[in-house]
């Protein structure tokens, strides 16, 4: 399944409506925990992003690029920005420390991109860590196998998200991920 920026917008809207400050650091930690929950429980990623282990823990790389481009846009004449849908729903703002953040300016009429299982994952993470400080979220993520087993500035293998699951469950989920990856390659080849 390809990356869907509309899903990201809907996730960020839910986070904002639940009192989350939408700084890049907080967003990336919450998305990691949402993706981890969903992958372990339902066998697939929510955003289908590629995670990297950076200084402050796991980061969904395409999502970070989209948010960076929205917060500090570089405009080229005649070239559409990938983050343009953000303009309709978010404003650029500063948090109390002066860091850039997103601010919800318009709500969607209804969620059309997120599945019930994805909304469950978001609500689960919010119920468990939504009231945590951002530094606490960073600490939680740093204790994860995904961080401990991945060198800084390196891609994180999805199999590390599955640490602690029974081996048969891991095999099934890894098989599902492989099928999804192969399907995406076929679609990419057919659309050439």
Per-residue pLDDT tens digits for 99-152: 899 999 988 877 789 999 999 999 999 999 999 999 999 999 999 999 999 999
* pLDDT tens profile 14-73: 999 999 999 999 999 999 999 999 999 999 999 999 999 999 999 999 999 989 888 887
Average of per-residue pLDDT values in the chain: 90
* Neighbouring-strand partners of residue 16: none
* pLDDT tens profile 58-102: 999 999 998 988 888 776 666 666 556 888 899 999 988 888 999
pTM of the prediction? 0.90
Q: What is the pLDDT of residue 79?
A: 62
Q: What is the pLDDT of residue 81?
A: 62
Contact present, 107 and 14 (Cβ < 8 Å): no
DSSP state of 73: -
Taking alpha carbons only, the member of 122, 134, 140, 135 closest to residue 18 is 122
């Amino acid at each position: 399944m390809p990356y869907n920026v509309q899903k990201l917008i809907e996730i960020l809207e839910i986070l904002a409506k639940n009192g989350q400050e939408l700084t890049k650091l907080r967003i990336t930690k919450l998305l990691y925990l949402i993706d981890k929950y969903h992958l372990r429980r339902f066998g697939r990623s929510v955003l289908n992003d590629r995670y990297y282990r950076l200084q402050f823990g796991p980061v969904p790389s395409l999502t970070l690029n989209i948010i960076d481009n929205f917060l500090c846009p570089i405009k080229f004449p005649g070239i559409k920005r990938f983050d343009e849908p953000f303009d309709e729903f978010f404003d650029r703002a500063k948090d109390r420390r002066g860091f850039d953040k997103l601010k919800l300016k318009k709500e969607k009429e209804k969620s059309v991109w997120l599945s019930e299982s994805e909304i469950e994952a978001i609500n689960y993470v919010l119920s468990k860590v939504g009231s945590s400080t951002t530094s606490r979220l960073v600490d939680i993520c740093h204790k994860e196998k995904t961080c401990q087993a991945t060198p800084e500035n390196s891609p994180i293998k999805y199999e590390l998200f599955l640490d602690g699951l029974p081996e048969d469950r891991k095999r099934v989920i890894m098989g599902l991920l492989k099928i999804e990856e192969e399907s995406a390659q076929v679609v990419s080849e057919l659309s050439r």
